[in-house]
Amino acid sequence: MKKLLTVTLLSATMLAGTAQARDYETVRFGVDVPYEPMEYRTPDGELTGFDIDLGNALCAEIGIECEWVVQGWDGIIPGLMARKYDAIMSSMTINEERREQVLFSDPYFTPPSAWFVPADSEIGKPNEEALKDRNIGVQRGTLQDNYATDMYGDVADINRYATADDMVLDMEAGRLDAVFLDFPVGKSTLLDSEDNDYKVIGNMITEPKEYFGDGFGIAFRKRDEDLAKKFNEALATLKENGTYDEIFNKYF
Amino acid sequence: MEQLSAWFTELLADNSIFTARTLGYYGEGLVTTVQLVFLSLVIGLVIAVPLSIARGSKRKWIKMPIFFYTYVFRGTPLLIQLYIIYYGVVFIEGIQDTWLWVILEEPFYPALIAFTLNTVAYTTEIFHGAIKATSKGEIEAARAYGMSKSLMMRRIILPSAFRRALPAYGNEVIFMLHASAIASVVTIMDLTGAARLVYARFYAPFDAFLFVAALYLCLTFAILYLFRYLERRMLAHLKPQS
Amino acid sequence: MIDLQGYGPRLLEGALVTIELALLSLVVAIFLGLLTASAKMSRSWLLHKIGTLYTTVIRGVPDLVLMLLLFFGGQIGINMVTDWLYDRFGIDIFININEFVAGVITIGLIFGAYMGETFRGAFLAVDSGQIEAGRAYGMSEALMFRRIRFPQMMRHALPGLSNNWMVLLKTTALVSIIGLTDMVRVAAEASKATHEPFTFLIPVAVIYLLIASVSEWIFARLQKRYNVGFGEADEWNN
């Protein structure tokens, strides 16, 4: 029995890992891929994208190491709380619901959301009448999901996907009549795809704020105020010295 | 109905997660799960009975393909089978222009096809085993009566094999109920899909998943008791007589 | 040869993850299964009830739901504890359960319940005369477990064990849904990126079949070994 207890305790300590010091020499970023062009993988598994490049540049500016931890969107905030990583830089929109859980940096990018449909679609404008009984694709747990569910959930079929890639694939297969997602991502994966058979309908959507928030921010644990401050300063510097624009132009 | 929903709304007024709306998701999810499992089991049963008879054939060219089919479908994860059917069918040239697409467009049907193919494989093997275990005496008696092969199959072998297969088939039904949870991966809003939606919206894993786990537990028990009842009725003659 | 478009090495890594995950989960499941079987056979009313509750609940709920619950819920549960420790005592520990560990624990926990049933049946099937004989020889309980109960039990447990292993192996595919990069996830990612699902999904299916076939062969050999002394014709179907 004693032996058993020792083994159990030993494995428990192994699980617990080591106590982590609070002054960061490396910052681990949680990121959900693929979300082209914000963050995605090359076939050999290398991470790349706007968030990745900007994140690395920010770390270089602060003078710390950057590491990237891939995490599904479903569990990305719980993963931060669990200290699987120290920050989230994964096209996360700053909004009230999330602010209750995490501390956000200043917004580093403010993309609108947009409706994408096949080029020959009859849907003229995104409204209840046009979307009635249509299949709409969104990524599960995103603000687009919340918005589409609340606005059109009663009239249309909302199909929720784990990743943006799944959604694009089903759009190409003809299973979806419309998808609702961040404009740059839709542009990169649908409009700029080889056989561009898609178009945007309606306006770019940034309102109401309770859904669409204030743009993308880096999320930290609430107690890491110092770290957030360092990143805000670095972001301001990169915007001033042109590095930000350089990265921006590479992807958009 | 109006009153009932009003009473429900009131009951849930001070609860931010289980609103009438989210309970509606769970309700629809329950219907979808039951439909999906029930349909695949019924269709599966209809296909599996002749296959299980053919599986015991002496002719190699009949027996081997069926064995190969059950071996592959029982030896690989249902998730892979679902992926292959859901994503794979799309890439068959020109399928979007045929009448088949009307069916395959909705995620429900590719999932139904995958689940049916899977349960056919398991059910075929269960019945095959039960048929093989028919006692020699029963067959000899039937032969002595001058029964033809097909009459013997219909009157003697199948009825007794079905009874013997009942407990194993009950397990297969529960297995299918549990396996159907992966339907949520291809956007079907089944019970698990509803729970994942509620979780993603409220970051409340305990509420979302414990509730759905309780629902599955109830369904499992319902199936369990149904099969116990069937066994008691149909296997009554095997019990020691008092 | 199939053109894997650069995903070959990652697919291979994924296959290794699948195998490691399955084997480690099996170890956890066997350990939990032995504990459960002992609890259910124990004279203590409480232990018996706990064992029964565990096996009933686990076997009544889909694997995927349990996995989602333990993976997302387990993480938040641990966070609550560590946050409380931090606020209360300023102890800043962090418990990092990565997807792999979570997968091993979850699958182990699920199949521990099934193993428990298998082992219980097998222990009960051991002839009580054997144990009395052991006692008559003055063997200690531990020695009796090692020399008599365990090897005898294994003979009865092997068919169930092999069955559970086959199901467990296929269940590992579900971890791809909670985000572990096993071979199913690599294949799914690759088929979405290249739009060639068959190229990646069918090889993965073949790997599963291969592992299953090899395990079948190993279990047949083991069965033969544990059947020594019971005659070659002795077939056990339970």
Contact residues on chain A for C78, CB-CB shorter than 8 A: 82
Nearest to C60 among B185, B199, B220 (CB): B220
- C89 torsion bin: left (phi>0), alpha (psi -120 to 50), beta (else): alpha
pLDDT for position A58 = 94
Say if residue A206 is in the same domain as residue A228: no
Taking only Cα atoms into account, the Rg of chain B, rounded to an integer number of angstroms, comes to 22
Task: Give the phi and the psi of residue C11 in degrees, each rounded to 5.
Answer: -65, -40
How many structural domains does chain A have?
A: 2
- Asked if C193 has any chain A CB less than 8 Å from its own CB, the reply is yes
**What percentage of chain C has pLDDT greater than the value 70?**
92
Residues 6+ apart with CB under 8 A from C167: C111, C114
Triad A74, A211, B24: Cα angle to 5°:
65
Say if residue A48 is in the same domain as residue A168: no
- Asked if C178 has any chain A CB less than 8 Å from its own CB, the reply is yes
Low-confidence ranges of chain B (pLDDT < 50): none
Selection from A25-39, A70-84, B171-185 with the highest mean pLDDT: B171-185
What ipTM was assigned to the predicted interfaces of this complex?
Answer: 0.86
**pLDDT tens for residues C105-139?**
989 999 999 999 999 988 888 888 888 888 888 88
In a domain, A89, yes or no: yes
If you count DSSP H runs as helices and E runs as strands, how many of each does chain C have, helices first? 10, 0
In a domain, A155, yes or no: yes
Contact between chains at C171 and B84 (C-beta distance less than 8 A): no
Which residue in the block uniquely carries the two structure tokens 């290398």?
A46
Contact between chains at B76 and C209 (C-beta distance less than 8 A): yes
In a domain, A1, yes or no: no
Gap between the Cα atoms of A196 and A189, Å rounded:
10
* Bridge-based pairing state of the strands A157-161 and A135-139: parallel
Neighbours of B76 (CB within 10 A): 25
Mean pLDDT, residues C216-236: 74
**What percentage of chain C has pLDDT greater than the value 90?**
42
Nearest to C101 among A15, A70, A162 (CB): A15
Check pLDDT > 90 for residue A4: no
Q: What is the 3-state secondary structure (H, E, C) of chain B?
A: CHHHHHHHHHHCCCCCCCCHHHHHHHHHHHHHHHHHHHHHHHHHHHHHHHHHHHHCCCCHHHHHHHHHHHHHHHHCCHHHHHHHHHHHHHHCCCHHHCCHHHHHHCCHHHHHHHHHHHHHHHHHHHHHHHHHCCCHHHHHHHHHCCCCHHHHHHHHHHHHHHHHHHHHHHHHHHHHHHHHHHHHHHCCCCHHHHHHHHHHHHCCHHHHHHHHHHHHHHHHHHHHHHHHHHHHHHCHHHCCCC
In a domain, A42, yes or no: yes
CATH code, A71:
3.40.190.10
Q: Does CATH place domain C9-226 in 1.10.3720.10? A: yes
**Polymer length in residues for chain A:** 252
Structure tokens at C215: 């395990």
Query: In chain C, what is the greatest distance between 2 CA atoms, to the nearest angstrom?
Result: 69
pLDDT for position B103 = 78
pLDDT for position B192 = 94
**pLDDT tens for residues C160-175?**
999 999 999 999 999 9
Nearest to C204 among B72, B80, B195 (CB): B80
Structure tokens at C224: 């033969």
DSSP 8-class letter at A35: B
**pLDDT tens for residues A157-166?**
899 998 888 8
Give A24's pLDDT tier (boundaries 50, 70, 90).
confident
How far is the alpha carbon of B155 from chain C, nearest alpha carbon, in Å?
Answer: 27
Check pLDDT > 60 for residue C237: no
Selection from A200-209, C54-63, C135-144 with the highest mean pLDDT: C54-63
Contact between chains at B96 and A174 (C-beta distance less than 8 A): yes
A and B: number of Cβ contacts within 8 A = 41
Check pLDDT > 90 for residue A3: no
Contact between chains at C193 and A44 (C-beta distance less than 8 A): no
Contact between chains at C92 and A70 (C-beta distance less than 8 A): no
Average confidence score pLDDT of chain C: 85
Answer whether B21's CB lies under 8 Å from B93's CB.
no
pLDDT for position A41 = 85
Closest C-alpha among C117, C110, A78 to residue B181: C110
pLDDT for position B2 = 66
How far is the alpha carbon of C97 from chain B, nearest alpha carbon, in Å?
Answer: 16
In a domain, A194, yes or no: yes
Check pLDDT > 60 for residue C236: no
Contact residues on chain A for C27, CB-CB shorter than 8 A: none
Contact residues on chain A for B193, CB-CB shorter than 8 A: 160
**pLDDT tens for residues B130-168?**
999 888 888 888 889 988 888 988 888 888 898 889 989
Q: Which residue of C has its CA nearest to B129?
A: C237
Interface test with B, best of C68, C75, C165, C169 (most B CBs within 10 A): C68
**Polymer length in residues for chain C:** 238
**How far from each other are the two terminal CA atoms of chain C, in whole angstroms?**
43
Say if residue A220 is in the same domain as residue A106: yes
Full residue range of the structural domain in which residue A122 is found: 113-212
Check pLDDT > 50 for residue A64: yes
In a domain, A14, yes or no: no
Say if residue A206 is in the same domain as residue A241: no
DSSP 8-class letter at A123: -
- String of b and e for A211-224 (b: at least 16 CB within 10 Å)? bbbbbbbbbbbeeb
Lowest mean pLDDT among A71-80, A206-215, C83-92: C83-92
Query: In chain B, what is the greatest distance between 2 CA atoms, to the nearest angstrom?
Result: 74
Task: Give the phi and the psi of residue A134 in degrees, each rounded to 5.
Answer: -85, 160
Secondary-structure percent of chain C, ordered helix, strand, coil, rounded to 5: 80, 0, 20
Nearest to A160 among B87, B90, B187 (CB): B187
Residue A41 pairs in a beta bridge with A47
Nearest to B80 among C64, C66, C201 (CB): C201
Gap between the Cα atoms of B213 and B218, Å rounded:
9
Mean pLDDT, residues A192-209: 81
- Asked if A78 has any chain B CB less than 8 Å from its own CB, the reply is yes
Which has more pLDDT, B201 or C184?
Answer: C184
Task: Give the phi and the psi of residue A100 in degrees, each rounded to 5.
Answer: -70, -25
Say if residue A105 is in the same domain as residue A121: no
- Asked if C9 has any chain B CB less than 8 Å from its own CB, the reply is no
Structure tokens at C48: 């018996």
How far is the alpha carbon of A42 from chain C, nearest alpha carbon, in Å?
Answer: 9
How far is the alpha carbon of C44 from chain B, nearest alpha carbon, in Å?
Answer: 26
Q: Write the CA distances from C104 to A154, B58, B217, C77, C186, integer angstroms.
A: 40, 44, 23, 18, 19
Contact between chains at A20 and C94 (C-beta distance less than 8 A): yes
Gap between the Cα atoms of A136 and A181, Å rounded:
11
pLDDT for position B8 = 60
Domains observed in chain B: 21-235 (1.10.3720.10)
DSSP 8-class letter at A19: P
For the entire predicted model, the pTM comes to 0.83
- Asked if C66 has any chain B CB less than 8 Å from its own CB, the reply is yes
Check pLDDT > 60 for residue A97: yes
Mean pLDDT, residues A44-52: 89
Which has more pLDDT, C130 or A67?
Answer: A67
Mean pLDDT, residues A238-248: 91
Interface test with A, best of C65, C93, C182, C191 (most A CBs within 10 A): C93
Give A1's pLDDT tier (boundaries 50, 70, 90).
very low
Contact between chains at A74 and B90 (C-beta distance less than 8 A): no
Contact residues on chain C for A74, CB-CB shorter than 8 A: 72, 179
- Asked if C179 has any chain A CB less than 8 Å from its own CB, the reply is yes
3-state secondary structure of A17: coil
Residue A182 pairs in a beta bridge with A113
Residues 103-162 of chain B whose Cβ lies under 8 A from any Cβ of chain A: 105-107
Say if residue A97 is in the same domain as residue A139: no
Q: Write the CA distances from B119 to A76, B57, C86, integer angstroms.
A: 35, 21, 50
In a domain, A244, yes or no: yes
Ordered alpha helix ranges (H), A48-190: 50-62, 76-81, 96-99, 128-131, 143-152, 164-173, 183-186
Mean pLDDT, residues C139-167: 87
Q: Which residue of C has its CA nearest to B208?
A: C69
Which has more pLDDT, B73 or C181?
Answer: B73
A47, A50, A52, A56 alpha-carbon torsion, rounded to 10°: 140
- Asked if A72 has any chain C CB less than 8 Å from its own CB, the reply is yes
pLDDT for position C16 = 94
